[in-house]
Structure 1
Amino acid sequence: MYLHGTSTINEQGHLEIGGCDTVELKEQYGTPLYIMDEQLIRQRCRDYMDAFRATGMEFQVAYASKAFCTMAMCRIVEEEGLSLDVVSEGELHTALQAGFPSARIHFHGNNKTPDELEMALDAEIGCFVVDNFIEMQMLDAIAAEKGLKPGILLRVTPGVEAHTHEFISTGQEDSKFGFDIGNGTAEEAVKLAHKLAHVELLGLHSHIGSQIFEVDGFQVAAQRVADFARQLQQEIGVIFKVINLGGGFGIRYTEEDSPLDTAEYVHAIADAVKQQFAGLEGQLPQIWIEPGRSIVGDAGTTLYTIGTSKDIPNVRKYVAIDGGMTDNPRPALYDAVYEAVLANRADDEATELVSVAGKCCESGDMLIWDIELAEPIAGDLLAVSCTGAYNYSMASNYNRIRRPAVVLVHDGESDLIVERESFEDITRNDVVPARLRSSVSVQR
């Protein structure tokens, strides 16, 4: 397994992350366990900020909190000077509870409810990324009642298909997100927003997909958004102050992945915006981007305990762990592929081909197909790398399995930032109607 960030193998042959022995982490916190490398998270944040400062352009880097959203993560993002994207009232609540500055919060989503719009307006967040006409009109009406005029970006689909999985490609015309440039709805949206009295049109937003390994898509998106901006400037005189080109920057999950350095993405985007917007009136727009996975993805490792196994001669050997699709649904959703190592025997030679199965009652609960490990036995610890993004965020209680704890490691210290769910948490919101209580003895 490729060692990311501060990961090393110590003298005992144990995997260490952030100076913390994973065997000791298991003894203290149990498994499954999400381990987040604080130093690597902060370095990823700084890479983006430093790269943009070098361009000389005005910018905002907004962490896409859907990748991994906890109060501790919001604090790190705030300390590193980034803004924050949220997509729900739950993510907004988390950010506000963490004390994140509301002026640096951007609210995304294709179906924001009236309650969510009110909550965000009351918090006086910095920007709404408006996705459709209904939302725009609701926001204008609610803002009018409150005497507010929030800033908005209009999400447009530029017709760019990123080279990524079809389920995470979002910039093409056939998408649930945004106003389409090609069929004229984006032009109609700009003209409406320009007329409304209780929203301030700041600019345009586009997002072409996720886990992208080249800059071409962003360059084409910048060109199409600039052409669109030029058209609207000529027609109605609107000048866009902000161009948000989204996120989607890829990370290394396996040796087959070849992501670019952060600076390569940033400089390509900045150069494209400079070139494409050079002939338009007014100053160059600010560039906003929204990295999520590329900040936390390879900073996360999930630690499991190996349990049972099943060897089918001439077919395969299944090795089961104490987690699976409940803490990492990405293999089932996206055919995601991961690397792993026996954390308690990280120096041992990988000699046996096995498939790692989860514990859910689903044949599709397979974490890794066909990986070489050092003859795993019951009680060994399996560390799966690059699980920092969309693992905790997508975790579920399927089969009423408790969600794992999350620890933040740094300089040999570990801090619990999300407690492991208890059995009481599992049934906390259950309600037994009175008509059922008389016939069933409910254990307390």
Structure 2
Amino acid sequence: MRAHEAGALHGDFGQHPTWLRPPADVNKLMTELWPQTATKDDGGVLRVGGKPVTELAAEHGTPAYLLDEEDFRARCRTFRTAFAGADVYYAGKAFLSKAIVRMVHEEGLHLDVCSGGELATALAAGMDPAKIGFHGNNKSVGELGRALDAGVGRIIVDSFDEIERLSALAVERGVRPQVMIRVTVGVEAHTHEFIATAHEDQKFGFSLSGGEAFRAAGTILGAGVLELRGLHSHIGSQIFDASGFEVSARRILSLHKRIVDELGVTLPELDLGGGFGIAYTSQDDPQPAGDLADRMNKIVDDECAALGLDRPHLSVEPGRAIVGPAVFTLYEVGTVKPMEGLRTYVSVDGGMSDNIRTALYDASYSATLASRTSHAGPMLARVVGKHCESGDVVVKDEFLPADIRPGDLLAVPGTGAYCRSMASNYNHVPRPPVVAVRDGQSRVIVRRETEDDLLALDVG
């Protein structure tokens, strides 16, 4: 969605937010929403990594997730540099493939996984197990065993049941894995309720206020089977306001001090999570990595000084902020359906099977005509998919050229995080490929599914 000065107008705007205004130039890219190498040429064709999307569509088909590899690597480096001295964990759940694992490793980042499948992908790509962290609120015996056998660097324990399972497995194998305790610090992150993860009434972590987190530390230390490395807090995702980290750090460092003082141990590490937000529309204003790092480091320094604590080694998890902006989805328009007095529905060849976030989180996205320049005025449109659901919406409200037509290419930015990870085969639609583009060259890093793939699973 775009907020611009008024221009030519089609449609009724009374029911839409007051900030939603048509752009002066419907062809112009809002560069803050797009990967670093994304530009439009004189003919209005969107280019990424020096390659026009018209060629990418011809080579790889649509829909397709297009990864700007230089942008992705640059964001890895930016966070690594900004948080110098800390461990930066790439969030595997945002998007993971073997190629992504290799890039993450090459750029000096650690990797966070939260399932056996993500762990298998990381190991298959050659990730150093010592630089892998294993999250999850219900890790199975099999998953924990595989993590121990691989030598995963840290396991973030999430329940007393998990402590018991992991301890038994560690005794069987004669190993002493490093663990961190995930602490629910009672901070309400300013984000969607489904991705706020540190308030009391949810499934993750040990409660701080209820005393469970301290009791978990005592259980681990008393048994002497697991090595307690530190405490972990994660207050949510798509977060713009750093004030939540200040409250979180104060509370978790108070617990840190209590464990050190009363249980007589040293806790060398503190993980404050992250979940930093990205710009999906003109209304989003993410903070630069350097500003986030400065603020979080100062918070930790100030709290440690106030408590008389030695500063623990810091680790952070930027979340979607690394891969989210580095990818956009390319679609082909199939049907254009004007609704008199309301808006025009623009149907594309994908939908909720490749981006469920609009339906699931009421997420907002933007879009642009990617295959040509238009001289028509802006028209209020809703970009929808091909699925048999009225909720199959990709972009709720966007100004597109009034002459948008079947065969046009439409691009939606900010789809690197969670879109491919959460993709489905609803209506038996094969999932799109992921194509990395760099220096005028493209390569498929996750191939397009086919109907043969779908049928191969059907043994009936």
TM-score calculated relative to the size of structure 1: 0.94
Greater mean deviation of Cα atoms: 311-320 or 189-198: 311-320
2:354 alignment partner in structure 1: 327
Matched-pair contact (CA < 8 Å) for 1:310–1:319:
yes
1:318 to 345, 357, 360: 345
2:438 alignment partner in structure 1: 410
CA–CA separation in structure 2 for the residues paired with 1:357 and 1:347: 21
CA–CA separation in structure 2 for the residues paired with 1:196 and 1:350: 70
2:394 alignment partner in structure 1: 367
1:439 alignment partner in structure 2: none
Matched-pair contact (CA < 8 Å) for 1:293–1:389:
yes
2:18 alignment partner in structure 1: none
Give the letter aligned to residue 427 of structure 2.
N
Greater mean deviation of Cα atoms: 250-259 or 346-355: 346-355
CA–CA separation in structure 2 for the residues paired with 1:97 and 1:229: 36
Matched-pair contact (CA < 8 Å) for 2:345–2:382:
yes
1:442 alignment partner in structure 2: none
- Kindly indicate whether residue 242 of structure 2 is the aligned counterpart of residue 218 of structure 1: no
CA–CA separation in structure 2 for the residues paired with 1:100 and 1:204: 24
CA–CA separation in structure 1 for the residues paired with 2:245 and 2:139: 27
Q: Give the number of equivalent residue pairs.
A: 428
Matched-pair contact (CA < 8 Å) for 2:254–2:307:
no
CA–CA separation in structure 2 for the residues paired with 1:154 and 1:125: 16
Give the letter aligned to residue 94 of structure 1.
T
2:456 alignment partner in structure 1: 428
CA–CA separation in structure 1 for the residues paired with 2:308 and 2:79: 28
Shift, 1:12, TM fit = 2.6
Q: Deviations over 1:390-441 (max 9, x none)?
A: 1000000000000001100111111110110011101112112xxxxxxxxx
Shift, 1:281, TM fit = 6.6
Partner of 1:263, secondary structure, is helix
1:59 to 86, 105, 126: 86
- Kindly indicate whether residue 59 of structure 2 is the aligned counterpart of residue 28 of structure 1: yes
Shift, 1:228, TM fit = 1.2
- Kindly indicate whether residue 139 of structure 2 is the aligned counterpart of residue 112 of structure 1: yes
Question: Equivalent residues in 2 for 1:5-20 (5 A)?
Answer: 5-20=36-51
CA–CA separation in structure 2 for the residues paired with 1:280 and 1:137: 32
Q: Deviations over 1:321-359 (max 9, x none)?
A: 000000000000111111111100256555222111110
Shift, 1:278, TM fit = 2.6
1:394 to 386, 403, 422: 422
Partner of 2:259, secondary structure, is helix
Give the letter aligned to residue 365 of structure 2.
Y
- Kindly indicate whether residue 330 of structure 2 is the aligned counterpart of residue 299 of structure 1: no
CA–CA separation in structure 2 for the residues paired with 1:202 and 1:22: 47
Matched-pair contact (CA < 8 Å) for 1:9–1:16:
yes
Shift, 1:195, TM fit = 1.3
1:259 alignment partner in structure 2: 286
Matched-pair contact (CA < 8 Å) for 1:140–1:197:
no
CA–CA separation in structure 1 for the residues paired with 2:342 and 2:422: 32
2:226 to 162, 180, 199: 199
Matched-pair contact (CA < 8 Å) for 1:252–1:259:
yes
2:68 to 37, 47, 68: 37
Give the letter aligned to residue 148 of structure 1.
V
- Kindly indicate whether residue 156 of structure 2 is the aligned counterpart of residue 125 of structure 1: no
CA–CA separation in structure 2 for the residues paired with 1:414 and 1:136: 45
TM-score calculated relative to the size of structure 2: 0.91
1:289 alignment partner in structure 2: 316
Greater mean deviation of Cα atoms: 155-164 or 276-285: 276-285
Shift, 1:316, TM fit = 2.5
Partner of 1:66, secondary structure, is coil
Partner of 1:387, secondary structure, is coil
Identical amino acids, percent of aligned pairs: 48
1:72 to 74, 87, 99: 99
1:88 alignment partner in structure 2: 115
CA–CA separation in structure 1 for the residues paired with 2:94 and 2:229: 25
Shift, 1:315, TM fit = 2.7
Give the letter aligned to residue 410 of structure 1.
R
Partner of 1:245, secondary structure, is strand
2:335 alignment partner in structure 1: 308
Q: Deviations over 1:143-191 (max 9, x none)?
A: 1100100000000011111111111101111121000100111111011
Cα gap change, 1:348 to 1:188, in 2 (>3 Å):
farther
CA–CA separation in structure 2 for the residues paired with 1:214 and 1:346: 38
Greater mean deviation of Cα atoms: 341-350 or 196-205: 341-350
1:378 to 398, 406, 414: 406
Shift, 1:238, TM fit = 2.5
Greater mean deviation of Cα atoms: 93-102 or 6-15: 6-15
Q: Deviations over 1:63-105 (max 9, x none)?
A: 0110010110000000001000000010000001101111100
Give the letter aligned to residue 42 of structure 2.
E
Cα gap change, 1:97 to 1:346, in 2 (>3 Å):
farther
Greater mean deviation of Cα atoms: 242-251 or 347-356: 347-356
